[in-house]
Amino acid sequence: MTASQDTIGQICKLLEPFNSTGKVLTPDTEISTDLNIDSVAVMDFVMEVEDHFDIEIPLNVVSETHSINDLAMVVDARTKKA
């Protein structure tokens, strides 16, 4: 399953400041591992996503989220609900 391009684009924009590796972000980019972001910074990024989309992402869902596409799907599901 894939998420909406629009959501992916917005997430990439939010993620860019945390991406110190300079790697090109794609839907398959694994957020914590490919970009070598510290665990605290990852939580900071998740907060940015929550604030931006005005949703809450519970920790159990966070722990099952790997790629940008995974996260975008979580966002899509939660913004639709609202």
Residues lying near another protein in the complex (CB under 8 A) are found at 28, 30-34, 36-40, 42-44, 46-47, 50, 56, 58-60, 62-66
- Least Å distance between CB 6 and another protein? 22
CB 35 within 8 A of CB 19: yes
> CB-wise, 5 or 26, nearer to another protein?
26
Cβ–Cβ under 8 Å, residues 41 and 27: no
Name which of 46 and 76 has its Cβ closer to another protein.
Answer: 46
With vertex at residue 37, the alpha carbon angle to CA 33 and CA 40, rounded to the nearest 5 degrees, is 120
Burial of 35 (0-12, 13-18, 19+ CB in 10 A): buried
Specify the residue, 1 or 39, whose C-beta has the smaller distance to another protein. Answer: 39
In angstroms, give the least distance from the CB of 65 to another protein. 6
